[in-house]
Amino acid sequence: MSLFDGLITSKMRVRILMRLFLNPDQQVYIRELADEMQVSPSQVSDELKKLSESDLLHAKKVGRQINFSANQAHPLYPELHSMVKKSLGMDTILDSILERLGNVEKILLLDDYAMGKDTGIIDLVLVGKIDKENLDDIVNKTEKYLKRKIRTLILSLNEYLKLEADLRKRPMLELWNQNNISS
């Protein structure tokens, strides 16, 4: 059950908000969301229309399709973004990692969760000098708490810089960057 379930009565609206507010720079179109949620495009279209009318989403016509994204200028955006992260457990993961793992320089969320899809598997890339024993402990405890599988890839800064181009080809969301590390 999501934090939003009691506040927002439409489960599809909740799923759309979670999808777009976890990674607010991402744009999606009606058919993409309908396929992902396994519902008809008209169902998704109705919810997107309501969210756009409330100004929570931006709608931008590109060719024959309309792309939707989170409206980061909306006064409720910071709270909704925070609620989505809390609902998916990203805040818990990040706090635990930063508190216990040593010199963490960068944390990336990859693939499905970076796109806002709650598939039950969270893929993280950790860059820095990571305490592997503490990481295993954090992962085990957090997996039980979130009821989701967490997969981690630990890289030194040099390893990350070598792999950065390949990693950027995948859906990615930066969760933490100590020194704005980039190649």
Cα separation values, 150 from 28, 63, 98, 99, 161, Å: 25, 38, 16, 18, 23
Percent of the chain with pLDDT over 70: 85
> Counting beta carbons within 10 angstroms of the beta carbon of residue 22, is it exposed (0 to 12), middle (13 to 18) or buried (19 or more)?
buried
- Tally DSSP H helices, then E strands, for the chain: 8, 7
Geometric angle at alpha carbon 89, from 27 and 131, rounded to 5°: 110
Higher pLDDT, 2 or 59: 59
What number of other Cβ atoms are within 10 A of residue 148's Cβ? Answer: 17
Domain architecture of the chain: domains with CATH: 11-81 (1.10.10.10), 89-177 (3.30.460.10)
Structure tokens at 1: 């059950």
Q: What is the pLDDT of residues 22-40, one digit of tens each?
A: 777 788 889 988 887 778 8
Q: Mean pLDDT score of the chain, rounded to an integer?
A: 81
Q: What is the pLDDT of residues 85-115, one digit of tens each?
A: 766 666 666 666 777 777 888 888 888 888 7
Enter the pTM of the model: 0.57
Helix (H) or strand (E) holding 165: helix 157-167
What pLDDT shows up at residue 126? Answer: 92
What number of other Cβ atoms are within 10 A of residue 16's Cβ? Answer: 25
Nearest to 172 by CA among 22, 60, 37, 31: 22
Q: Residue 17 carries which DSSP code?
A: H
